[in-house]
Amino acid sequence: MAAQDSFLNERSSLTEEQKSKGFVYRNELPRAYRKRLTIHYCIIGVLCLVISILIGVIVIITSSPDQILVEKTRSHSKRHHTRPSEAKKHIGVFTEITESETQSIIKYLKVNASLQLSDPTTARPNSNFVHTIELKLAPKEQVLKYLDHDGPTPVRSAFVSIFKGASVTPVVEEYEVGPLPNITYAHLLNTTSRKTRIPFNVRPFSMVEFRSIYTDILPVVAKKANFLLNESYGAEFGKHCGDRCLKFSMTPISSAYLAKGERKAWFWFAYDLEFYTLHPLDFQFLVDMTDINPSNWQVQSVWYCSTLFDSLDELLEKYRQNTINKTRVPYPAAKEEELLTSLHLRGDAFPKLNLEAPRQFEPNGPRYTIEDDEVTYMQWKFTYKMSPTIGLQLFNIRFKGERIAYELSMQEIAVLYAANSPASSMLYFADSAGLFGTRTRGLLPGVDCPDYAHFQDIEIYTSNNGGYRRFEKAMCIFEQNNLMPLRRHRAYGKIGAFYGGLLDINLVVRIVISVINYDYVTDFIFHTNGAVEVKVASTGYLASGFYTPAEEQYGTRIRENVIAHLHHHLFHFKADIDIKGTANRFSTWTIKTENKTDEWSSAPQNWHIQTKIKKSLKHSELSAVHKYNFNHPKYLIFSNANQTDKLGNQKSYRLKINGISKMKLPRDQGFEPSVSWSRYQMAVTKQKDSEYTSSSVYAMWDARDPVVNFQKYLDDNENIVDEDLVSWITLGTYHIPQTEHMPNTPTVGGHLSFMLTPFNYFEEDPSMSSRDAIRISPKDKTRPLDGANVERYDMPAGTSCVKDTESLENMLTNSSRFLFF
């Protein structure tokens, strides 16, 4: 009623001039006339409804199935995300643990009094609490029997990580809990491929520990040192810092650099501005966090003005006595929008005219379908899962009904920095400690993904999020035209002329993992020729340090007091490749040279050098490791020897790696054992259910004795001929920053990738069946310039772009939860 009154009041504000021109108020009409008018409107409304229904019936009867599909997909395109997981019609073998299953697991574990579980929202480091819950994959053999041969449904169980700080000997334990949904057991995970009772000092950071840092460490430092921070930097740390505040960050120290059982981290301050990693200060302090009781944590060494002090008290005493050098850095005077480190618009703005940028659109809505967790696109089908620890995993990837890969997933991101100061020089990140699934936050339509994309919410349990939580728009799926031909040719000659072409139109599944300053954009791309590609690119902000001359050899000076350090980005992926079944083999086709005698040559030297192929079948895991050598380029081939084409070629897929770099850390020294997978650009192992990941959430700390030691996967040197094989791929690049990278790190041309592409697998390119192709041929072969026929294979010849998506402004006006929560 209020809305109606408002409408009437707005209408009654018309001027006398408007009234004279025919504007009529509803409440100015005679009552009897208004009544008759109302009846007439009702009759007209009913007639319109009946006519609309009749037209709809006629349209349905006369429409082709293709037209009906187009209308269905158009309505599908306007959905921003699917139903939450609890509304799934089917819980499959790859479906992540649901909310109701999580509740059952927590309830079952809390009944066990010996566990003494606390709620993660109130727990302390010396409490027991559940850190993560995720699906424990059933054995692959059982899953394949279920999928391919109507075998029994595999038992569904959960992988549960429990921090046990309240135990007599604090420990992290990993449990298998099941079967779901009716739980009867929870036992310590039984596997030889990894430790399942993990030393407490190598546990990953959790919000439980961060709460203690805020209550037991930072207030102590601020109370003692705020006067120094204010004098040196014009800012303070704490609740009463006003508009000149400091923010802290930290560098975990790998156990390789500590005595056994110790847990320490370097903390450093920066201005709390956009963005703080580009506003570092030269105040760092080392905290011993070994004790399970945070009140016993101690601040040890302090780094200030390029000098290391044994304690905070020593620094403050010498500072007051004026017996040391002091830093004086003025607080940045520029407004936030003027800061060179912000992402506000600056400089001579362009374009000069208010014209929108080009964009892609779906003329008829999406050409893919999503049913629960299964995606169907053209001749592709696959299932996705979002793990809280690993992030996005794709399973059961099929092309034309045949499985190409059982799993594709990213395993780890490592970033290794170099510097002079303690906090920067010890900065060795294994980012999975931050739990990749929780770092896939909201994606922005029209920027992170096309505005027509399908945006998918995910739901996972971690203690870092206080329990089970929903992440809105955490991944997106869309079809794109990358504006490059997949194939094309134009021919002109006496025998005739023709043009044939097909754009590389493909499906993309995208996530963006945000870890502190870096954003990692990861795409899984499905091409219509049977190739599947994985791409990753880094963007976001640089990590930096306080500039001193001693830092010159470790990076680039990007501001007066700031240096951005050299760092090594490494990404590790798993590709469980199945070619015509699981009995596969791996071989390399190496490009060699030979001196060939030419008996027909009349030159004094009747020989020449040319290239040739040397095929080498790899029989063991150690023989199959791949370290790139420019002198010996190789094709990496996965084949099924029992499946050949009519010419005798083994049905195969080729692995192409674009983006490799060599690990420079010495083997088995320092942090290197935590990332032993980085020794190889590619490795091949015999598939084992126990070797399901190449890294772990403990890799940030565990170099002294890694929880998962990838090298051990190879050292048993299993036979890999005609076996179920897994490929492990390392992508990487060294990054020397530059001043243009100061606000953010551009991704243009900076992606790393690998591709699985058919190699003698099909009789011909399967994209030859695509109706997206075009062929042009002369109307008269003898007169090719006098007009041509265009063959589009019954696809629409032209469409107009209609913008029917919700604007960002409308989407974000009332809620920005999906982006920032």
Instruction: List active site positions.
Output: 431, 518
Two tokens, residue 514: 């945000």
Spell out the alpha helix ranges (H) of 461-525. Answer: none
Find how far residue 773's CA is from the centre of its chain.
32
Q: What is the DSSP string of 406-441?
A: EEEEEEEEEEEE--SSHHHHT-EEEGGGG-GGGG--
Q: How many CA atoms lie within 13 A of 376 on its CB side?
A: 6
Task: Report CA Rg, the chain.
Answer: 32
DSSP 3-state of 317 = helix
The DSSP bridge partners found for residue 387 are: 391
Helices (H) and strands (E) in the chain, counts: 13, 34
Is-contact 548 557, C-beta < 8 A? no
Q: What are phi and psi of 50, to 5 degrees?
A: -60, -45
The DSSP bridge partners found for residue 287 are: 265, 299
Find how far residue 606's CA is from the centre of its chain.
57
684 by Cβ neighbours in 10 Å (0-12 / 13-18 / 19+) ranks as buried
DSSP 3-state of 341 = coil
Q: What is the SS3 string spanning 173-237?
A: EEEEEECCCCCCEEEECCCCCCCCEEEHHHCCCCHHHHHHHHHHHHHHHHHHHHHHHHHHHCCEC
Closest CA to 663 of 605, 728, 729, 734: 734
> Cα–Cα–Cα angle for 350, 353, 358, nearest 5°?
80
Helix axes 218-233, 312-320, angle to 10 degrees: 30
Closest CA to 154 of 167, 141, 166, 172: 141
Peptide bond into 445 cis (omega under 30): no
Closest CA to 286 of 272, 259, 307, 268: 268
Is-contact 574 558, C-beta < 8 A? no
Number of C-beta neighbours around residue 236 at 10 A: 20
Closest CA to 723 of 687, 749, 757: 687
